[in-house]
A and B are shown apart, each in its own frame.
Chain A
Amino acid sequence: MGKSVTVVHWLLLTLGLVAAQAEKAEQVLPNWLTGIIAVGVFFFLIFVTFLVNKAWCETPSKPEAVPIEYAMTNVSTRLDAVRSIDDPNAYENAIVHQTDEKATEM
C-alpha cells in the first residue's frame, strides 16, 4: 500500500504546484488555505487508491493462499526459534560466521 500512496503523493504535489502557480498570479489564497487544499486533494487521492486497491487486488490473492498455507505448516515450528530475541542464530546469514566471543565494536 505504501508505494501506491507514494506515487499518489507525487501526483498530488504536481497538482499542488498548479495551485501554487495560479496563486502567484492572483495572490488571493492565503498560505494556510493552500496547505489545507493540498491535504484535501491528498486525502481524496488516498481514498481513490483505496477503492482501486479493494476492487482490483482482491481476486489474484486467492489462488496463492493455498500453497502458502501448506508451506507455513512446515516451517511454523521453526518460526518460534526465529522470533526469539535472544537467539543469536535468529537472522543467520550464510556468509556470516558465528562467533561466541565478545567481538570488537567499531
Chain B
Amino acid sequence: MENTTANHVTINNPADISVILGYFMVVIAVGIWSTFRTDRGTVGGYFLAGRTMVWWPVGTSLFASNIGSGHFVGLAGTAAASGIAVGSFEWNALFIVLLLGWVFVPVYLTAGVITMPQYLKKRFGGSRISLYLSVISLFLYIFTKISVDMFSGAVFIQQALGWNIYVAVIALLCITALYTVTGGLAALMYTDTVQTFVIIAGAFVLMGFSFNEVGGYSALLDKYSLSLPSQRGFNISEQCYTPRGDAFHLLRDPMTGDLPWPGVLFGIAIIGSWYWCTDQVIVQRCLAARSLTHVKAGCILCGYLKLLPMFLMVFPGMISRVLYPDEVGCVEPSICTKVCGTEVGCSNIAYPKLVVSVMPTGLRGLMLAVMLAALMSSLASIFNSSSTLFTMDIWTRIRPQARDKELMIIGRVWILCIVAISICWIPVVQAAQSGQLFDYIQSVTSYLAPPIAAVFFLAIFMKRVNEAGAFWGLMGGLVMGLCRMVPEFAYGSGTCLKPSNCPKLICGVHYLYFAVLLFFCTAILVLFVSYNTPPIDDKHLHRLVFTLRHSKEERVDLDWEEVERGRKARREADEKETVVTEEDQIERGDRSIMMMIIGWFCGISDTQAPEPTEEEVAEASKQLPDISEDPLWKYLVNANALIMMSVAVYFWGYYA
C-alpha cells in the first residue's frame, strides 16, 4: 500500500528533526527521573507505583492512556465523514469518569485488588469468571486497541514520511516496546504527563492553523455543507458524497441518524462504563493514587481534559474535508485508491493531511512528536496492563510456584506475542473498516463489552448476585454478541456505494441500540440465575460491594483455598532452591558479563525474597486499606465535580 499523492512531504529538515529529538530527550529524562523517585521494591510498588501518585499524574495518565493515535485518525476521519456526533463518545466520558471515581474505585480500593479479574474472583469465588474476563480483555485489547492504534500511527507516518505501512508499524512497535520495558508504572504515569502536554500543545497549534486556513469557526459552519468532491461517478447516489444535514448536531434522529440519540446517551454510557470503570488499563491508574481524594481529583482533571478532543480533533477533521474535498471526501473508488490505497473512502487521512499541508516547517516535527506521544502512551499502558493481566491471572494459575523473576520474563515474552498478533491483524482492520476506523472499534466493543459492564454493575450494587448467575450471564451475553458480530464480519460492513448483504434482522439494529439491548438481556439473565441459586454470605462480601465498602469486619475470602495452594507451592519451590544453590555456589564461577548487562537492562535480579510465612500473611491481611476522606477535601472535590458536570451539560446543550 504505497502512497502516491504528489504533495506528500518528508520530514527531513533540521527544524523538524531537532523538535522530534528534543521530544524524545524530554520523555526519556522524565522516565529516568521517575524510576529513581519511586520505590519499586514491592509488587505493589511495581504494579501500582507504590500507591504514591498524587492527583495530577493520575488525571493526565488517564487522559494519555485513553487518547491514542486511533483518536487522532479515527475521530477526525469520522468527523470528516459525518460531522460532530462522534465527539459524543468523548463527552460522554466526562460523566463516566466521575462514576469511576465515586462508585467503582472506592470498592476496588477497599477490596485490596490489583487486577479486575482478581476482584471478580474475590467477589464471586471460583475461577472461571476471572479466566473468561482475562481472556476476553486480552482479546479486546489486541483487536480493538492495539491494532487500531498501530494502524493509525502507521497511516500517519505513511502520509508524513512516505514509508511502507508495515515498516512504519514495526518501527513504532520497537520504540514503544523499548519504552515499556525500561519503565515501570510510575515512569509511565509521569511520562504520561509530558505526553499530555505535548499532545494538547501540538493539537492546539494545529487547530489554530486549521481554523486560520478555513477562515474561522462560522466559515467552517457555512462551508462544510458545501464541500463536495469534484469527481463523482454517474451512478453514485448523492447521499454518498454529500455532507450530512445534521452534521453539527450531537443528538440525531433515532431512526435514520448514523448515531441515534438514545444510542448516544445510553449505549455510549454502557460502553464507556466498560472502558473506564471495569477495564484494567484505566482502573490500574486510579489504584496507584495516594488516597481516594486524589483519585477523585484525578478523575475530574481527566474529565476537563476530555472536553478538548472535540475541538482538537473533531473540528480539524471537518476542516480537512472543507479544504481537501477531493482527497478526504473522495467517493469514486479509483480516485480513492490513488489517494490513500483503499477504495472505500479516504476519510482516515483527514488529520495527517492537515498536518502535512497546513503546518509550517518545524511544527510538522512537533505534530509527529504528538502522534508518537499519543501512540506510545496508550500502547505502553495497554502493554503494561495486559502483561499484568496475563502474568497475575493466567500464568499464576498454570504455574502457582512461579517466582517474581519468572513472572517478569513471562510478562515481557507476552508483550512480544501480542505485538506479533496485532501486526497480523492489521490487514483485517484495513479491509473491515469502511474508511471509518472509529466506527469499527466502537461496533466490535459494543458487541462484546456490555455483558462485562452489566456483571460489574450488578456485582457492585447487588449482594444477591452470585457466581453461577454472573458466569451464565457472561456466557449468554457472549453468545448474543457473537451472533451479531460474526455475521456482520462475514458479510462485510459494506459502504455507501456497495451496501452489505447482511440480513436486516441481524444487522438492521444500530450497534449502539444493540449494546443497550445486550446490557439489559445480560442483566436479566444474571438476576434470573442468581435468584434460583444459593446466595453468597455477607461474611464473604465485606468491602467487595458498594453498600459494605466501609465495613471493618473480617472477610472470609472465597478464593482463600487457591491462594493457600499457591503460597504452599512457592514455599516448596523456595526450599528446593536453597538446597540447590548451596551445592551450586561452590561449582559455578562468575556469571558472564553479558548476562549481567541484560539483567540490569531488563531490571531482573537474581535475589528473591522468601515467601512470607503463614503468620506474616495473617498479620498483613489485618491491615485494611483506607478509603476515608478528609471532610473538607471531600466537599471541595464534590463541588468541583458538580462544576465539571455543569460545564459538560452546557456544551452538550450547546451542540445538541
Q: Which residues of A contact B (CB under 8 A)?
A: 1-3, 5-6, 9-10, 12-14, 16-17, 19-20, 23, 31-32, 34-39, 42-43, 46, 68, 71-72, 74-75, 78-79, 81-83, 85-86, 88-106
B residues 528-557 touching A (CB-CB < 8 Å): 550, 552-553, 557
- Give 23 A-B contacts (CB < 8 Å), ordered by A residue: A2-B99, A3-B103, A5-B641, A5-B645, A9-B95, A9-B649, A10-B265, A17-B251, A20-B656, A36-B653, A38-B652, A78-B623, A88-B44, A89-B623, A91-B112, A93-B113, A98-B620, A100-B609, A102-B40, A105-B181, A106-B384, A106-B387, A106-B408
Q: Which residues of B contact A (CB under 8 A)?
A: 35, 39-46, 48, 50-52, 95, 98-99, 101-103, 112-114, 118, 180-185, 187, 249, 251, 261, 265-266, 269, 290, 383-384, 387-388, 392, 404, 408, 411-412, 415, 550, 552-553, 557, 560, 563, 566-567, 570, 602-605, 607-609, 611-612, 616-617, 620-626, 638, 641-642, 645-646, 649-656
Q: Are B40 and A2 in contact (CB under 8 A)?
A: no
A10 to B411, CA, bound (A): 41
Most chain B beta-carbon contacts within 10 A, residue among A2, A16, A85 = A2
Interface of A is mostly: helix
List the A residue with the shortest CB-CB distance to B388: A106
Which chain A residues lie closer than 8 Å to B39 at the CB level?
A: 86, 88
Contact partner of A34 (CB less than 8 A), chosen from B185, B646, B654, is B654
Q: How far is the CB of B134 from chain A (nearest CB, A)?
A: 14
Q: Are A97 and B404 in contact (CB under 8 A)?
A: yes
Q: How far is the CB of A13 from chain B (nearest CB, A)?
A: 5
Q: Are A102 and B605 in contact (CB under 8 A)?
A: yes
List the A residue with the shortest CB-CB distance to B564: A94
Smallest CB-CB A-B distances: 10 pairs: A2-B102, A38-B653, A105-B184, A104-B603, A35-B654, A35-B653, A104-B408, A20-B656, A92-B620, A71-B552
Contact partner of B52 (CB less than 8 A), chosen from A42, A85, A96, is A85
List the A residue with the shortest CB-CB distance to B611: A97
Contact partner of B621 (CB less than 8 A), chosen from A3, A20, A92, is A92
Interface of B is mostly: helix
Q: How far is the CB of B74 from chain A (nearest CB, A)?
A: 24
Q: How far is the CB of B48 from chain A (nearest CB, A)?
A: 8
Q: Are B621 and A98 in contact (CB under 8 A)?
A: no
Q: A6-B95, A42-B645 are in contact. Are A82 and B625 (CB under 8 A)?
A: yes
Most chain B beta-carbon contacts within 10 A, residue among A23, A78, A93 = A93
Q: Are B412 and A106 in contact (CB under 8 A)?
A: yes
Q: Are B626 and A83 in contact (CB under 8 A)?
A: yes
Q: How far is the CB of A21 from chain B (nearest CB, A)?
A: 8
Which chain A residues lie closer than 8 Å to B604 at the CB level?
A: 104
Which chain B residues lie closer than 8 Å to A10 at the CB level?
A: 265-266, 269
List the B residue with the shortest CB-CB distance to A38: B653
Which chain B residues lie closer than 8 Å to A20 at the CB level?
A: 249, 251, 653, 656
Which chain B residues lie closer than 8 Å to A101 at the CB level?
A: 41, 404, 605, 607-609
Contact partner of A2 (CB less than 8 A), chosen from B103, B388, B552, is B103
Q: Are A90 and B112 in contact (CB under 8 A)?
A: no
Q: A14-B265, A38-B653 are in contact. Are A91 and B99 (CB under 8 A)?
A: no
Q: Are A42 and B626 in contact (CB under 8 A)?
A: no
Which chain A residues lie closer than 8 Å to B641 at the CB level?
A: 2, 5
A49 to B555, CA, bound (A): 34
Q: A68-B550, A105-B182 are in contact. Are A88 and B45 (CB under 8 A)?
A: yes
Q: Are B566 and A95 in contact (CB under 8 A)?
A: yes
A5 to B552, CA, bound (A): 27
Most chain B beta-carbon contacts within 10 A, residue among A5, A102, A104 = A104
Which chain A residues lie closer than 8 Å to B269 at the CB level?
A: 10
Q: How far is the CB of B366 from chain A (nearest CB, A)?
A: 28
Contact partner of A82 (CB less than 8 A), chosen from B616, B623, B650, is B623
Q: A3-B102, A82-B624, A85-B52 are in contact. Are A16 and B384 (CB under 8 A)?
A: no
Contact partner of A94 (CB less than 8 A), chosen from B408, B563, B642, B646, is B563
Q: A37-B653, A95-B566, A98-B609 are in contact. Are A103 and B52 (CB under 8 A)?
A: no
A30 to B408, CA, bound (A): 58
Known contacts A10-B269, A90-B44, A99-B43; can you find 20 more A-B pairs with CB under 8 A?
A: A3-B99, A9-B95, A35-B652, A42-B649, A79-B626, A88-B39, A88-B41, A93-B118, A94-B621, A95-B114, A96-B114, A98-B43, A98-B616, A102-B41, A102-B603, A103-B42, A104-B602, A105-B183, A105-B187, A106-B387
Q: Are B99 and A85 in contact (CB under 8 A)?
A: no
List the A residue with the shortest CB-CB distance to B287: A91
List the B residue with the shortest CB-CB distance to A21: B251
Which chain A residues lie closer than 8 Å to B45 at the CB level?
A: 88, 103
A12 to B652, CA, bound (A): 11
Q: Are B99 and A95 in contact (CB under 8 A)?
A: no
Which chain A residues lie closer than 8 Å to B411 at the CB level?
A: 104, 106
